């Protein structure tokens, strides 16, 4: 037996809590299409005015890096401590730059 949710598409929901801030991932839901996903997202994730704007994206449209591969994926930046401001030791009177 197939359930209803198996026939529906999965959408990821992003909410902007306040103008000027980034949209932040809050969760996912099943819906027929984008329009329905938006309405569900409103009902499900912003019941207490948590947001001023919602994005819904089909989960299948998201291409994600694999956490298991993190070591080699991020390897090129691991040996570059000089990209950090704290790497540079400056005299106290000018150390606030």
Partner 1 sequence: MTTPQEENFMRKISAEEKIEPKDWMPDAYRKNLIRQISQHAHSEVIGMQPEGNWLTRAPSLRRKAILLSKIQDEAGHGLYLYSACETLGISRSEMIEQLQSGAAKYSSIFNYPTLTWADVGAIGWLVDGAAIVNQVSLQRTSYGPYSRGMIRICKEESFHQRQGYEAMLALAKGSEGQKAMAQDALDRFYWPALMMFGPHDSESAHSQKSMEWKIKRETNDDLRQKFVDQTVKQIEVLGLEHPDKNIKWNEARGHYDSSDLNWDEFWSVINGNGHCNRQRVEHHIAAHDEGEWVRDAITAYNEKKRAKNAQHAA
Cβ(11)–Cβ(59) under 8 Å?
yes
Number of neighbouring beta carbons within 10 Å of residue 16:
16
Q: Where along the sequence are the contacts to partner 1 (CB under 8 A)?
A: 16, 19-20, 22, 53, 80, 82-85, 87-91, 93-94, 97
Q: Which helix (H) or strand (E) holds 27?
A: strand 24-31
Query: Whole-number minimum distance, CB 69 to partner 1, in Å?
Result: 22
Query: Whole-number minimum distance, CB 68 to partner 1, in Å?
Result: 25
Q: Which is nearer to partner 1, 22 or 67 (CB)?
A: 22
Nearest to residue 57, comparing CAs of 75, 41, 77, 73?
A: 41
Query: Whole-number minimum distance, CB 16 to partner 1, in Å?
Result: 8
Q: Which is nearer to partner 1, 22 or 68 (CB)?
A: 22
């Amino acid at each position: 037996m197939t359930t209803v949710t198996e026939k529906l598409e999965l959408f990821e929901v992003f909410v902007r809590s306040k103008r000027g801030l980034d949209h932040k991932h809050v969760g996912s839901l099943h819906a027929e299409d984008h329009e329905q996903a938006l309405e569900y997202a409103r009902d499900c994730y912003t019941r207490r005015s948590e947001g001023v704007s919602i994005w819904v994206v089909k989960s299948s449209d998201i291409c994600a890096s694999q956490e298991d591969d993190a070591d080699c994926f991020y390897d090129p930046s691991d040996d570059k401590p000089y990209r950090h401001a704290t790497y540079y030791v400056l005299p106290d009177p000018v150390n606030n730059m």
